[in-house]
Amino acid sequence: MKPKKEYVILPKSNNDKEVTDLGLGSYIPEGSHRIINKDGSFNVVRKGLSYFETFSVYQWLITMSWLKFGTLIFSSYLLINIFFAFLYYIGGESNFEGIEASTEFHKFLNEFFFSTQTFTTVGYGRINPVGIYSNTISSIESLIGLLSLAVATGLLMGRFVKPAAKIIYSENALIAPYKDITGLQFRIANKRADHQMVDVEADLLISHINDGKVKFDKLTLEYDKITFFTTTWTINHPVTEESPLYGKTEKDLKDSNAEFFILIKGFDDTFAQIVHSRSSYKYNEIIWGAKFVSIYAAPEDGKTIIDLEKISSFTKAELPESKILSAEN
């Protein structure tokens, strides 16, 4: 039940703060500001590298919303065809067979639609290139069309098969009675009904200010791994004497600007890959003296029923005396 050694940052007498660069920084934001947002993203800004050095086009295209992605596809299609229509228009009408247009705008339109027919390789052929110029450009355009299809296929697959856990976290973490001591508890559930998770592991860390120093500690869990994650999991850190929370009050957590970080990892049945999820609780999201209410409804037809609306529901609960002090004591 001792915290794993490799994570605990012991007080170091003659050591400057650089050595505590363990991936989460050496600064704890105050008040409601946080290091890890509820959605798992990090409040870190990088400077010193140009935008292009850190930017990944692929990543951007994979993670944007479907609406944005669709809009991007359609407007790229429009722009590419306007560009090629312009090239065809420059070449002049004599480069084509089948253009029937009375005005310059209609000619351009004809060439725009010819371009779409070339880019998508539909190639009806009523309008078709006769000169070297138009033939050369259209042979390039149809190749670009095919390559764009290849890229679109890759992007769509990347968007579909983006392995990530969808975990629902209880809104608050609780300081709850546990055996004859207390436990820091929160509850998680798998949001996806059709993706089973197995071999799920949890990591819980705390960042707090201790003797004026930023400290990160790993918190030991009652169970840090479960085999099947079908219903819910109440993750529990028992506040034993070894816990950095031992003897701490609600005010202590506030004064030390505490934030709890969670990393959930597990094997996703559908993706056949390890997926993970991150979240955090700030000190003001901790409820002292409470316990979660059951998430189970009465079973039907021998089936377990869980009601995910209750994932955050708790009731008041008496904490044992003198082990961990309640607020303002």
Contacts of 284 (CB under 8 A, 6+ apart): 32, 254
| 82 counts as binding a second copy under rule CB under 8 A | no
| Identified binder of a second copy from the candidate list 30, 211, 241, 328, rule CB under 8 A | 30
224 half-sphere exposure, CB direction, 13 A CA radius:
15
Single residue of 79, 82, 90, 132 touching a second copy by CB under 8 A: 132
Q: Is 329 one of the binding residues for a second copy (CB under 8 A)?
A: no
Q: Does 327 bind a second copy (CB under 8 A)?
A: no
As measured in angstroms, the least distance from the Cβ of 15 to a second copy is 6
Task: Give, as ranges, the residues between 177 and 236 that touch a second copy (CB under 8 A).
Answer: 177-180, 183, 185, 187, 191-196, 198-200, 203, 205, 218, 222-234, 236
What are the Cα distances from residue 296, in Å, to 37, 77, 314?
29, 51, 13
Greatest CA separation found in the chain? Answer: 95
Q: Work out how close the CB of 246 gets to a second copy at its nearest, in angstroms, rounded to a whole number.
A: 19
Cite the DSSP H helix spans in 173-227. Answer: none
Q: Of 85-93, 244-252, 260-268, 321-329, which segment contacts a second copy by CB under 8 A?
A: 260-268
From the CB of 264, what's the least distance to a second copy, in Å?
10
For a second copy, the closer CB: 35 or 253 = 35
Q: Which one, 47 or 328, has the nearer CB to a second copy?
A: 47
| Closest to 137 in 3D by CA, of 198, 89, 104 | 89
Q: Which stretch binds a second copy (CB under 8 A): 26-34, 87-95, 248-256, 321-329?
A: 26-34
What is the nearest approach in angstroms of a second copy to the Cβ of residue 328?
25
187 exposure class (CB count in 10 Å sphere: 0-12, 13-18, 19+): buried
Interacting residues with a second copy between 87 and 116 (CB under 8 A) = 97, 100, 109, 113, 116
> What is the enclosing helix (H) or strand (E) of 273?
strand 273-282
Tell me which residues in 140-179 interact with a second copy (CB under 8 A). Answer: 142-143, 145-147, 149-158, 160-164, 177-179
Least Cβ distance, residue 97 to a second copy (angstroms): 6
232, with CB counted inside 10 A (0-12, 13-18, 19+), is buried
Give per-residue burial for 244-281: e unless 16+ CB within 10 Å, then b: bbeebbbebbeebbbbbbbebbbbbeeeeeebbbbbbb
Q: Which of residues 261-290 bind a second copy (CB under 8 A)?
A: 261, 263, 265, 267, 269-276, 278
Q: Is 120 in the site for a second copy (CB under 8 A)?
A: yes
Rounded Cα–Cα distance for residues 77 and 83 (Å): 10
**Between residues 79 and 147, which has the closer beta carbon with respect to a second copy?**
147
Residue 231 amino acid letter: T
Is 37 a residue that touches a second copy (CB under 8 A)?
A: no
